[in-house]
Amino acid sequence: MADDVVECSWESQAEIGDEDQTLAYAARADAQAAARLYDKYYRPILGYIYHCTLDGDAAEDLTSNVFLAVFRHLGRYEWRQVPFRAWLYRIATNEVRTYYRRQKRARAFRRERQETRGDEAGGEVAVAAPAAAAGPANADEFRLLHRALEQLRPKYRTTIVLRYFEDKPAAEIAAITGQREGTIRSQLHRGLAQLQEILGHWGVLPESSGSRYE
């Protein structure tokens, strides 16, 4: 966990902070307080990880890992360093990054095996669909956008998901990632430009004139 001191000013931070601070400290010795923290943040964290992975089973597993890590390390948590919610999302972000590293290694291993055996490329791995309320067209668009997001560097993908899927302001994203707000805004700008370029290359949007992958 990063130990950077960060200043945050997103809306309702004080109210959320007071409640979370009380629960976080109580949860070190009180199972009911720990259960309240879990109930409060399970679905938001699950949704965030699902938006990052587009895999329902993986999202559930990674969310479980997040809360295991949270309650294992709760005694080390210090409120003055970072708000609890940002600390929780930071742990979730690290889990997602670990997931992508494992996926990358697994794909490389499968390619090596296919080349060794002379197999043709395997089919696409099935992923969970978006919410049932989404229509087929929206589901297809969501999958396409997710494929494009996977082409971005992790720092760009993280900031875009947090901002546009999780609706978090730059100040909160800065707290989650341990970076300055200006850096976050720059990453959003560059990440969106690269996303537009990728989608343009695929014929979904007009191609931008910028260079690919800065």
- Only one residue has tokens 């943040």, namely 41
Q: List, in order, residues 6 or more apart from 71 with CB less than 8 Å away.
A: 27, 34
Residue 2, domain member (yes or no): no
How much is the pLDDT for 115?
62
CATH number at residue 107: 1.10.1740.10
- The total number of structural domains in the chain stands at 1
Residue 73, domain member (yes or no): yes
Q: How many CA atoms lie within 13 A of 92 on its CB side?
A: 31
How much is the pLDDT for 112?
66
CB 122 within 8 A of CB 100: no
> How far apart, in whole angstroms, are the C-alpha atoms of residue 45 and residue 153?
21
CA distances from 164 to 45, 157, 203 (A): 15, 11, 22
How much is the pLDDT for 177?
94
pTM, rounded to two decimals: 0.75
How much is the pLDDT for 153?
93
Determine whether 69 is exposed, middle or buried from the number of CB atoms within 10 Å of its CB (0-12, 13-18, 19+): middle
Residue 209, domain member (yes or no): no
How much is the pLDDT for 17?
64
How much is the pLDDT for 80?
64
Residue 175, domain member (yes or no): yes
Residue 152, domain member (yes or no): yes
Mean pLDDT of 41-63: 95
pLDDT at 64 over 90: yes
How much is the pLDDT for 161?
95
Structural domain boundaries enclosing 130: 13-201
pLDDT for 84-102, tens place per residue? 999 999 999 999 999 999 8
Residue 37, domain member (yes or no): yes
Mean pLDDT of 187-201: 93
